[in-house]
Amino acid sequence: MSKYGAKTTTANDVAALVKDGMWLDLGCLQPPQDFDRALAARVHELSNIHVRCQCHLYYLHIMDADPEGKVFFLYNWHVLGLSRKYIQEGRGHYIPMNFGEVHHYYENIEPDIAVAAVSPMDKHGNFNFGPSVSYSKEVLRKAKIKVLEVNATIPWAYGGYDECVNIADVDYVYDNTSGDKIAEISNPVATDVDKVIAGYIADLIPLDGPTLQIGISGLPNAVLSRLGDLGARDIGIHSEMLTESMADLVDAGVITGKKKTFIPDKIVYTFSLGSRRLYDWMDHNPALAVYPVNFTNDPNIIAMNRNMVSINAGLGVDLQGQVSSESIGTMHYTGTGGQLAFHRGAYYRSSLGQQALGYPENKGIIAIYSTFTDKDGKLQSRIKPTLPQGEIVTVPRTDTSYIVTEYGVAFLRGLSIPERVVEIAKIAHPDFRDWLLDEARKIKWLGKHFKIKGLTPEQHVARAAKK
């Protein structure tokens, strides 16, 4: 008999359980590939199948098998390149969410079938969600039919809780027999602009024992690299995501977590993305502690970290400090993820009188390129007088503290609207500053007496750091 006993099944048998009108859940980031393939083979037998997931790092067979979207419709908790394509084609939808609250959403969601990709079973009957913990166990708890697809390439991630599921708690288990490997992504390379912005951000971060939250792109990599060059020590990580650049600094002895005030000595995260090198590094690594996303992304939990610095990227910002990180106009580009939660977590800590206790102020930082080049090759400002119609506000102006571009730092907390206009205009590309001020005057946000003082970017950084 199979090691899974009476619960042994196949991907084809699970796909045969799917009936018209069902809601399926395919988990977080790494969907079960054999099941995806088996379900796609039934495209001509089914109708009205709703598929919910948290991104996906490769093309889904079910979507390729149904290019007109007549059978399978995709609902996504976040948007990456492939899901963006399906949304633009009218074959999918984004579900607005704060990532850390997704467990609460499942209080009212009951998938008909949930299939999760997991590591091989240990001697105690446990399977591990590997790099995709997030809300994986919660989905299985709520599903009517609970299924595991075992993939031998999934690393085992040590965690706080909910990183494993026991065979006793599922209905069916089968091995991936197609030799599929979990998806990998390369470590992004920092651009010259990333390095300039990273320099300004690094100057805002304490070098002795800060705790950081960063995401994946060339910019966070550049920030970590710059901190290493500046001699930072005992960096801690409490983040949504584990990245390859973090692994590099752990190996270099720069990230230790020794001075974290909450779960010291551990890198706390909820999912990871990277190369095979990262997955091998995280496998059974006791320096790491993966938790479900309702723990890692809870602003009250985040705020328990001393010297907490949250660094996130925006797509656009207006002159009042509203940050757009999800859409370009009405075109959906990505999702809220944990940006607002981490920004607020850092804000909460600095709002609780921690300076009186001798703690430096925590910081929520939004990084943004000052310009982009449009499809006609024309330079455009990412800083606008007002956000374009339909563009989504991710971080409200009331929460925005630090905005950083390659031209410096704007610190907005406690500033009036005219003062915000001036500070934000200072960090815009020089070609757009007069235009931004003129537009602000037209809409009565700026009196004639407000002018930009001739501060250098370095002076902007020094001024913001003092605040």
Q: 206-236 pLDDT, tens per residue?
A: 999 999 999 778 898 899 999 999 999 999 9
Mean pLDDT of 396-412: 95
Residue boundaries of the structural domains of the chain: 5-175, 192-466
Q: Are 211 and 239 in contact (CB under 8 A)?
A: no
Among candidate residues 232, 294, 207, 305, the one with its CA nearest the CA of residue 263: 305
Name beta bridge partners: 268.
Answer: 238, 289
Higher pLDDT, 338 or 170: 170
Give the model's pLDDT for residue 193: 96
Sorted by sequence, the CB contacts under 8 Å of residue 297 that are 6+ apart come out as: 98, 99, 100, 101, 240, 270, 338, 341, 342
DSSP 48-106: -EEEEEE--SS--HHHHH-TT-SSEEEEESS--HHHHHHHHTTSEEE----GGGHHHHG
Give the model's pLDDT for residue 42: 97
CATH topology of domain 5-175: Glutaconate Coenzyme A-transferase (3.40.1080)
Mapped onto helix, strand or coil, the DSSP state of residue 206 is: coil
Give the model's pLDDT for residue 459: 53
Q: Are 332 and 339 in contact (CB under 8 A)?
A: no
Give the model's pLDDT for residue 358: 41
Percentage, residues of the chain above pLDDT 90: 75
Q: Are 120 and 127 in contact (CB under 8 A)?
A: yes
Mean pLDDT of 96-103: 92
Whether 87 shows a pLDDT value over 90: the answer reads no
- The continuous run of DSSP H or E covering 466 comes out as helix 457-466
Give the model's pLDDT for residue 353: 44
* Across 43-57, 354-368, 379-393, 398-412, least confident range: 354-368
Whether 198 shows a pLDDT value over 90: the answer reads yes
Give whole-number Cα distances, 147 to 27, 58, 139, 161, 309, in Å: 11, 21, 11, 20, 39
Q: What is the token pair recorded at 261?
A: 């005030």
Q: Which of 240, 244, 423, 439 is catalytic?
A: 240
Same fold, 5-175 and 192-466: yes
Mean pLDDT of 14-21: 98
pLDDT tens digits for range 304-357:
998 999 999 999 999 999 999 988 888 777 888 889 999 999 877 654 444 444
Higher pLDDT, 246 or 329: 246
The Cα 298–Cα 100 span in angstroms is 6
240 is catalytic: yes
Mean pLDDT of the chain: 90
Mapped onto helix, strand or coil, the DSSP state of residue 384 is: strand
Give the model's pLDDT for residue 1: 53
Q: Can you give the C-alpha Rg of the chain in angstroms?
A: 23
Stated pTM of the model: 0.91
Q: Are 276 and 185 in contact (CB under 8 A)?
A: no
CATH of the domain spanning 192-466: 3.40.1080.20
Percentage, residues of the chain above pLDDT 70: 93
Confidence of residue 159 (pLDDT cuts 50, 70, 90): very high
Higher pLDDT, 356 or 286: 286
Phi, psi angle pair for 383, to nearest 5°: -90, 120
Name beta bridge partners: 332.
Answer: 327
